[in-house]
Structure 1
Amino acid sequence: MPCQTCGDATSPAFNECQRCGTPLGQPAVSPGVPTYAVRGLGTAAAIAVGAASVLYLPSALFPVVGVRVARAAAEQADRDLLMGAAVAELLLVLPYLLAFLTAAVLVIIWTWRVRKNLEAFPGALPTMGPGWAIAGWLVPFANFVVPARVVANVARDSLWRRSTPGLVGLWWAAWLVFTFGERVVSRLDDQRYTRLTEWPRSDAEFQTYVRYYQDAIGPRLIPTAACLVAGVTLIVLIRRISAAQQDRIARAAPAWPVAPGWPGAPAGYAVGYPTQPVTGPSPQVASDPTVASPQVPPGAGGTIGA
Structure 2
Amino acid sequence: MRCQTCGDATSPSFNECQNCHTPLGQPAVTPGLETFAVRGIGLAASIAVGATAAFYLLAALSPVYGRVLAEHAADDRDADVLLGAAVLEGLLALPFAAAYLTAGILVIIWTWRARKNTDAFPGALPSLGAGWAIAGWLVPFANFVVPARVVANIARDSLRRRGTGALVAVWWTAWLVFSLGERLVSLKDEMEYAELPEDPVGDAEFQAFVDYYQGALGRHAIPAIACVVAAVSFIVLIRRISAAQQDRIARATPAWPVTPGMTMAAGTPVVPAYPQPQPVTAPSPQVVADPTVASPEVPPVPGGTIGA
TM-score category by the smaller chain?
Answer: 0.7 to 0.9
**TM-score computed with the length of structure 1 as normaliser:** 0.83
Alpha-carbon offset, residue 201 of structure 1: 2.0
Structure 2 equivalent of residue 200 of structure 1? 200
Structure 2 equivalent of residue 89 of structure 1? 89
Structure 2 equivalent of residue 211 of structure 1? 211
Structure 1 equivalent of residue 250 of structure 2? 250
Alpha-carbon offset, residue 256 of structure 1: 6.4
Alpha-carbon offset, residue 165 of structure 1: 2.4
Query: 1:126 aligned to 2:126?
Result: yes
Separation in 1, partners of 2:95, 2:67: 23
Structure 2 equivalent of residue 60 of structure 1? 60
Give yes or no for contact 2:112–2:131 (8 Å, CA) kept in 1: yes
Pairwise mapping of residues 270-285 of structure 1 onto structure 2 (< 5 A)?
Answer: 285=286
Query: 1:117 aligned to 2:117?
Result: yes
**TM-score computed with the length of structure 2 as normaliser:** 0.83
Q: Deviations over 1:109-148 (max 9, x none)?
A: 1011101111000000010001111111111111111000
Separation in 2, partners of 1:175, 1:197: 35
Structure 1 equivalent of residue 12 of structure 2? 12
Give yes or no for contact 1:152–1:168 (8 Å, CA) kept in 2: yes
Give yes or no for contact 1:167–1:233 (8 Å, CA) kept in 2: yes
Give yes or no for contact 1:5–1:251 (8 Å, CA) kept in 2: yes
Look up the equivalent residue of 1:120 and give its one-letter code: A
Alpha-carbon offset, residue 285 of structure 1: 4.7
Look up the equivalent residue of 2:28 and give its one-letter code: A
Q: Calculate the aligned-residue CA RMSD, in Å.
A: 2.2
Name the count of aligned residue pairs: 271
Query: 1:100 aligned to 2:100?
Result: yes
Separation in 2, partners of 1:97, 1:212: 24
Q: Which gives a bigger RCO, structure 1 or 2 (Cα 8 Å, sep 6+)? A: 2
Structure 1 equivalent of residue 157 of structure 2? 157
The range that moved more, 164-173 or 143-152, is: 164-173
Separation in 2, partners of 1:87, 1:162: 48
Q: Deviations over 1:179-206 (max 9, x none)?
A: 1111111111112111100111222211
Structure 2 equivalent of residue 179 of structure 1? 179
Query: 1:40 aligned to 2:40?
Result: yes
Q: Deviations over 1:191-223 (max 9, x none)?
A: 211110011122221111111101111111000
Q: Deviations over 1:2-43 (max 9, x none)?
A: 111111111111111101111011000001000010000000
Separation in 2, partners of 1:162, 1:17: 16
Structure 1 equivalent of residue 232 of structure 2? 232
Separation in 1, partners of 2:60, 2:97: 12
Q: Which 5+ residue runs of structure 1 have no aligned equivalent? A: 258-272, 289-306
Structure 1 equivalent of residue 70 of structure 2? 70
Q: Percent identity?
A: 64
Give yes or no for contact 1:115–1:130 (8 Å, CA) kept in 2: yes
Structure 2 equivalent of residue 80 of structure 1? 80
